[in-house]
Chain A
């Protein structure tokens, strides 16, 4: 049953994925044209040579044909080669991907672990100082620009702490350049980027948990459980929490596109060597094959994430599986 549900969702995801690649392809190719990085500006190349190179790379073919050629390669698992260095695009992406996954996963886990208790506390202690504080935090949290928060954290915890002779956090990168395998240093590098990325989502998700918890607390089965003498704590743990938090799974799935984009900004602020950083580097070089690969990859990640969220939701809430 669950398997059939998942299969149906998977089939529906294929046209969406195709659409994502077509739109990205059109936007990128219509804006950048048949540009080959570094060639136009090279004085030792004649125009005929540039044209020949462009022809060999297939950049002079009609756009629909270029797209189909690229798509045919993709179906064989071939993302093409980078226009900047001729290396396979997939190698570049796979080299950076673990760092982005590490950053986003940490941020999501951090945000969920803090947001749920905050939201539950706000709902259970409605109207008290606890509730007002968490509400204020969430209203402010969504309005803070992530890059600015990142810069402020760097100013305080890296620059000022260093100046004051306190233990300070590294301001950029993902690991100690002298010893890449040092896990402790990796964790230290992760603290600030993950905090910044988690902050905005923490605000939204705690707000959501609060309102959905309030809704659940007003349900008849909650009153029944309390009337039959169940303790408040046990009622929250057994009945309310599960029903209140289930919709959050869908919400997290829906936030994936902004999560990927937000991770890109955080990666750039903290010099985190993930795929967002790679995207900016390659975009500045007009390396459109790498960009297409990255966009496709993030598109797949978003669609797959939504799929996992839907299936997880069906696991948690059996009413969906109809």
Chain B
């Protein structure tokens, strides 16, 4: 942690960056913080409560953050994948940001705690299980000690997806229409997503209105299918959409399913290498087409 504070202080005082975005300790646990004064660098922390994907502040939609000047951003492995996503799609250039990578051994599912807890199968964020990027590569600095693998959660996301896959179509339809039926269309999932970069979202279009705007099951289904598809092969599994969802729709299951689909069909795994093209928008002449007559 001292390492992080010293580095942030140095970057701010020598003018390399104008702002460092990281996490601080607050009344309700860890939360994002913007540090602009080198003296404030002592507020920075990193522990298992730092669940937030701060790359959402790099999203080109947030020009108010960009207006602060060059940014130093503290990133975990999953966050670094989101940066790679923005670079891949030319939403960012590598020089726009100084990436301070932290070695991460998983985070808590519930982060509003006054002190960090060691991870157990009960409290670990399920998405951390099987993480392949505990030491982000796409960074300018890599801090912290080497971390062990996150514990296996009581029920993994893959197991939950597999359980749904085994159900008959009608059961799955009933499950998802009930879950999406809860949606209040606050679009928190979209707003927090580091990769929902459109200046104008199709859900906000009114002429023609592609997606019905009021929260009823039909429009909700349309919105949720669209959200999922637009993130197919792009989602980095940071879990922020589900964490922000005020009605608890298990969006992680949809996102994971899409990762499995692009993995099985196109051998694609999302990584923090911006040179690897995303699977949608790319193609091979011999792509599987067993569903086409």
Q: Tell me whether A and B are bound partners.
A: no
Instruction: Give A residues with C-beta under 8 Å from B.
Output: none
Instruction: Give B residues with C-beta under 8 Å from A.
Output: none
